[in-house]
Structure 1
Amino acid sequence: MLAVGTDVVAPRDPCVPPASTPTARRVLAVALLLVLAQTITRGVLAVDGNLYWDDLILTGRATALPLLSPEFLFHNHDGHFMPAAFLTAGVTTALAPLQWWAAAATLIGLQLLAALAVLRVLWLLLGPRPALLAVLALYLFAPLTLPAFAWWAAGLNSLPLQAALAWVAGDALLLARTGRRRYAVTGTVVTVVALAFFEKSVLVPFAAYALLALTLRVDGVAAPLRTAWREGRRLWLAAAAVVAVWAACYLAVATTGMRVPAPAEAAQFAHHGTSLGVVPAMLGGPWRWERWPPGPPWANPPTGLVVAGWIVLLGTLVVTLRCTQRTGWVWAAAAAYVAASEAAMMLARSGPGTTYEIAQTLRYTSDGAVVLAFGFALIVRAPRRADAGRVGAVARHLTRPVVATAIVLGLVASSLWSTVTFARSWHDNPGADYLATARASLAAHRDVPLLDQPVSLMTLLPVAAPWNSAAHVFAPLADRPEFASSTPELRALDESGRLVEATIGAVRWIGPGTEPGCGTRIGQAGAPVPLDGPVMIWEWTAQLNYFASVDGTVAVGLGAGEPVTVPVRRGLNRAYVRMYGTGTELSVRPLTPGLELCVGAGPVGVVVQGTVTVP
């Protein structure tokens, strides 16, 4: 254990009161009030949200697959390896199917956990000095974390990562301070949990090591890298073993599909992610958000804010380097983390169909807010230079309590305005109205089975197939009709989510048959029902106009395609049958003993809403 162990986690300033003083209690009380304020603010944002895009894929898979099955937990979701996120989504869906309040509750809980973990680290680095409140407020209200919080699927990745970054870093500091093994154990356990939520959590132990080493360097400890390794060795070795096992699982399950962008592309991604994303967010921006439905909002800061952000950032860099000792590597480490996040985004998401605005969604750099909070805390902790000159005079003026408080309040106000404008953009989600209307419409028409169909393009695009089908999206609901391969009444969900009457847009026609008054007679052995021409291989819907001798079931197929089972009723009726295949005839075979049918003419084609006039 370090001889100067207390200095690893406590401020060097001897004027800072100990944690048991009234000042310390006041600082802690205000810090907890700030966390409560963030919880309320983010809670309002979450409650006003709704299930969106990947959220519906998660809920659909949770219903279609057993909760603890490898197929469900170890699915490669767009390059992500996230069994704990799938498990959370599965449990939430089972308890409250397609209920947004349940998803919002998980977001609020995870955000609170992350906020408390960051407060813990700041307390370890700064102790109960008022400057802690400023750094904490900047993290709590930073717009950088907004987009990843509001979207459930993204929050299940990002929020556990943020919490783990802070918790494991705190455990590393406490392990170096006390030497107690329990901090190596809890740090390892949290790393395991974080990796189960999001593959980017592989950075957690590296960030913890960097924070410990930088803290030692700021405190003037010789050989900080070697000392950080020695004092945290038990945690680093355990984390290395965890990462090795996780890496084997990840490589066996996930297909990354990484692509190295051209230098010009990389420069554009970096510009959009840094100048139009991270830098304005450090001043509470972007203030404005744009959206191309059904895509998520992305930051669109005014040019003046971008310029001001760079001026303030570079000015802060100059002042802190000139006025504090040994903080150059702090800046370098924070910049490296943000750059690594942007590089990972480029490798995983760049491609011919990707716009540069994806970097402005801020989801890929949201965890950088935790690292930036670490960096500001270390700068506050660092000893001051005695020979700072005019720059030092400026710094002393800016750090006067009244001036510093005004600056922080201004940044928080700027951040809250960005939160308001983001909430307006996020609320403009056409998929939410579709889901609400469809739920009500399905509940009101439970009597007749429905043929499956893709949901509205504003809810899920075809690239999400097969999870963009109504049968998967609405599978969690109990109060709905059954989705089946045949139905006696043809209905479909329109673009607003209403269940409306539908018909078949004919591509081919079932022939009138050769037997007068019957059409094509189907005996117990079955018979082919010819079409008026061939159809290509596809999923077609046939209108089967029939007369049945008794109630029963028949098997209907198209060419060599897999036949589907269709219930039929005694007398003159019709059934709409969905089947996959190709060829020039349907095959119809009774499955019920004694059942015979007469099949008349009818269309074969695709389902369309409303009525169609056919010549």
Structure 2
Amino acid sequence: MSLARVPRVAVVAVSAILLQLVVRGWVAGSGYFYWDDLIMTGRAATSSLWSADLLWYSHDGHFMPLAYMTVWLATAIAPLRWGLAVASLVLLQAAASLAVLRLLVVMLGWRWRLSIPLGFYLAGVLTLPAFAWWSAGLNALPLQFALAWVSADALRLVRTGQRRYVVSGVVALAVALGFFEKAAVVPVVAAAVVALLARVRGEPVRRALRRGALLWAGSGVVLVMWAVCYLLVVDTTESNSGPEQATGPEHAGALLHSAISLGIVPAAVGGPWHWERWIPATPWADPPHWGVVLAWIAVAAVVALSISLRRRVIAVWVAAAAYILLTQIPVLVIRSGPGTTAELMQSLRYFADDAVVLTIAGALVLCAPARRQVPRYGRPVVAVAMSVFTLGSLWSTYGFARSWSNAPARGYLTTARAEFAHWDGDPLLQQEVPWNVLNPLAFPQNQTDRVLAPIAPPGLFARTTPRLRMLTDTGTIVDAQVWWNRGIVPGPDPDCGYRVRGPAAVELPLTGPMLMRAWTAQLNYLADREGRVAVAFEGSDEVLADVHPGLNQVFVRLLGSGSALRIRSLTPDLALCVGVGPVGVTSFDR
């Protein structure tokens, strides 16, 4: 086909997608690695591509091997380089947007009316928060792609009977499930699209569903195989809202109100127009009260007007509303503990797929036969409404990008990378990264040896070091010291302290008991040769440390509790004296 014969609507649609990708690329570029991103890159840097520790890992209840594979490849190519993460998000967004366009063409043909649902999907902010966060985007974007692609395949299968659409749809479903378990809803949505399109056109629904039987059967096989893997990997007995955390219907109702009235509904009409944020949380929708009222009025008007102008579309809106409500149940069950704030639901990242469902609903309404002729002013009204929606969405996008650009991890990781380039060879002990880079709730994933693993030179982090240093909250390496939370009491030998010879463990009593946590022990010693010793709290795992001839010190990171340390020699004929020294937390002069 020559360019002259390409429908103008196709040129406009593709141009709109390109414009969306430019805007989305700018939004993603304004952000940086955040929370789960650092957990995933840290695991990717410490695991091989095909290891079970990577691909068969339950990430906060999610089974997503293809997402981890993507992170592993990006980390291997350019470790902790945000540009590559942005490129992957833009590429996935392009695939999702083109899949939505394909579905709309299958439903509506290359006609100008497809620009209405397409514009809603491309410009709206329902998909924005999940897109801008890399790990969330690796879940949400493949799901959006699969919802549109498999629905289009189902419609083409019903119309043509060609089995290649069965293969295409089943493969797309399998890939989406590899990124996000919520893709299990894809066959249900595709079947609903087939049934609703037949209904609005006055065609037999059962016959349409029967013609898609091969796709439903193939999808069922994939879902069963995936469910087996999911149950083997994920411990479904774990929940963030156990009996001791159960909350009443009032709390669940507040979360539902936040999700719908303060999140989804305003976003569906171009909002929320304003975002709020508490660092290090993600931005959440914070629409003004007048905006919420106007949003509900606009949504009600669109639904009422469509019902008055089109036949048999009530079922379409009922199905869309049911999807939005039902897919919130897992979020409410998992996230409705007493520590959950309503703002979590207003972050919108759980509802990105609602944009595809609402886009499909709009297309189904346009497929329905008209009850009466649209008034002459109908098209100008639609054009004005879409312009207002687009401008409001762009303003909301700008506000989100400004809020999202405050990324504490950017400066920390940039400085740490520069520091590591000049590392002198003495290891650093493990420590937590700053709370605004990765919260302590993520322990042990928030330890420096995991978060910084992609950019750390081999051997940078260890359990022992002859020189105690730390990373500051800005990522700079500075000298540090051990607090005297407790101390090793003076030994029985006035000339040696504690004499360590042979494999028998020697007890080093402390000035008091210590609670279970990670502590640093400063061992001041005198050795007659090179050797190695094992140090631990009683009943805890031993840490191996090298000692050197002469009067020296070694700092050992120990996990445990108790009132004494135990030390033994692993080097035959090593003569070692251990003196008084502190055992506690590490700090540096601020």
Please give the range of the TM-score, normalised by the shorter of the 2 chains: over 0.9
Aligned residue number for residue 580 of structure 1: 559
Instruction: Please say if 1:413 is aligned against 2:395.
Output: no
Provide the rounded CA distance (Å) in 1 between the counterparts of 2:540 and 2:57. Answer: 29
Aligned residue number for residue 229 of structure 1: 209
Aligned residue number for residue 71 of structure 1: 53
Q: For structure 2, list consecutive stretches of 5 or more residues without a partner in the other structure.
A: none
Provide the rounded CA distance (Å) in 2 between the counterparts of 1:566 and 1:525. Answer: 14
Report the more deviating stretch, 100-109 or 558-567.
558-567
Provide the rounded CA distance (Å) in 1 between the counterparts of 2:240 and 2:481. Answer: 44
Deviations 1:257-284 (A, max 9, x none): 2758633223222211111111111221
1:336 CA drift (Å) = 1.2
Instruction: Please say if 1:543 is aligned against 2:522.
Output: yes
Aligned residue number for residue 155 of structure 1: 137
Change (3 A) 1:251 1:525: closer
Provide the rounded CA distance (Å) in 2 between the counterparts of 1:273 and 1:581. Answer: 43
Give 2:294's aligned amino acid.
A
Provide the rounded CA distance (Å) in 1 between the counterparts of 2:44 and 2:370. Answer: 55
Provide the rounded CA distance (Å) in 1 between the counterparts of 2:98 and 2:434. Answer: 40
Tell me which of 261, 273, 281 is aligned to 1:287. 273
Provide the rounded CA distance (Å) in 2 between the counterparts of 1:610 and 1:21. Answer: 68
1:288 CA drift (Å) = 0.8
Tell me which of 445, 464, 488 is aligned to 2:466. 488
> How do 1:366-445 residues align onto structure 2 when only pairs under 5 Å count?
366-386=352-372, 393=375, 396-400=376-380, 403-445=381-423
Q: Given that residues 58 and 86 in structure 1 are in contact (C-alpha distance below 8 angstroms), is that contact kept between their aligned partners in structure 2? A: yes
Give 2:225's aligned amino acid.
V
Q: Given that residues 145 and 369 in structure 1 are in contact (C-alpha distance below 8 angstroms), is that contact kept between their aligned partners in structure 2? A: yes
Deviations 1:278-327 (A, max 9, x none): 11112211111111111111000111221111111111111110111111
Instruction: Please say if 1:29 is aligned against 2:8.
Output: no
Report the more deviating stretch, 421-430 or 377-386.
377-386
Instruction: Please say if 1:449 is aligned against 2:435.
Output: no
1:20 CA drift (Å) = 9.3
Instruction: Please say if 1:57 is aligned against 2:43.
Output: no
Instruction: Please say if 1:245 is aligned against 2:231.
Output: no
Q: Secondary structure at the match of 2:165?
A: helix
Tell me which of 283, 308, 314 is aligned to 1:328. 314
Deviations 1:487-543 (A, max 9, x none): 111111222222222111112222333434433333345543333344344432111
Change (3 A) 1:566 1:163: same
Give 2:223's aligned amino acid.
V
Provide the rounded CA distance (Å) in 2 between the counterparts of 1:235 and 1:289. Answer: 42
Change (3 A) 1:568 1:503: same
Q: Secondary structure at the match of 1:542?
A: strand
Q: Given that residues 52 and 432 in structure 1 are in contact (C-alpha distance below 8 angstroms), is that contact kept between their aligned partners in structure 2? A: no
Give 2:83's aligned amino acid.
W
> How do 1:165-204 residues align onto structure 2 when only pairs under 5 Å count?
165-204=147-186
Change (3 A) 1:446 1:329: farther
1:378 CA drift (Å) = 1.5
Deviations 1:22-66 (A, max 9, x none): 685211111110010011111111122211001111111212333
Give 2:187's aligned amino acid.
P
Change (3 A) 1:233 1:531: same
Normalising by structure 2, we get a TM-score of: 0.94
1:433 CA drift (Å) = 2.2
Give 2:213's aligned amino acid.
R
Q: Secondary structure at the match of 1:444?
A: coil
Aligned residue number for residue 468 of structure 1: 446
Identity %: 47
> How do 1:83-94 residues align onto structure 2 when only pairs under 5 Å count?
83-94=65-76
Q: Given that residues 341 and 364 in structure 1 are in contact (C-alpha distance below 8 angstroms), is that contact kept between their aligned partners in structure 2? A: no
Give 2:544's aligned amino acid.
T
Provide the rounded CA distance (Å) in 2 between the counterparts of 1:205 and 1:261. Answer: 33
Aligned residue number for residue 118 of structure 2: 136
Provide the rounded CA distance (Å) in 2 between the counterparts of 1:135 and 1:57. Answer: 37
Change (3 A) 1:88 1:517: same
Normalising by structure 1, we get a TM-score of: 0.90
Aligned residue number for residue 188 of structure 2: 206
Deviations 1:369-421 (A, max 9, x none): 111111111212221113x7xxx54xx42324xx4333322211111111110
Q: For structure 1, list consecutive stretches of 5 or more residues without a partner in the other structure.
A: 1-18
Instruction: Please say if 1:351 is aligned against 2:337.
Output: yes
Q: Secondary structure at the match of 2:327?
A: helix
Provide the rounded CA distance (Å) in 2 between the counterparts of 1:133 and 1:261. Answer: 44
Change (3 A) 1:520 1:182: same
Give 1:277's aligned amino acid.
G
Q: Given that residues 420 and 456 in structure 2 are in contact (C-alpha distance below 8 angstroms), is that contact kept between their aligned partners in structure 1? A: no
Give 1:510's aligned amino acid.
I
Q: Secondary structure at the match of 1:228?
A: helix
Change (3 A) 1:362 1:84: same
Change (3 A) 1:187 1:479: same
Change (3 A) 1:268 1:406: same
RMSD: 2.1
Instruction: Please say if 1:595 is aligned against 2:578.
Output: no
Q: Secondary structure at the match of 2:361?
A: helix
Give 2:14's aligned amino acid.
L
Provide the rounded CA distance (Å) in 2 between the counterparts of 1:441 and 1:405. Answer: 55
- How many residues end up aligned between the 2 structures? 583
Q: Given that residues 556 and 588 in structure 1 are in contact (C-alpha distance below 8 angstroms), is that contact kept between their aligned partners in structure 2? A: yes
Give 1:89's aligned amino acid.
V
Aligned residue number for residue 254 of structure 2: 268
Q: Secondary structure at the match of 1:399?
A: helix
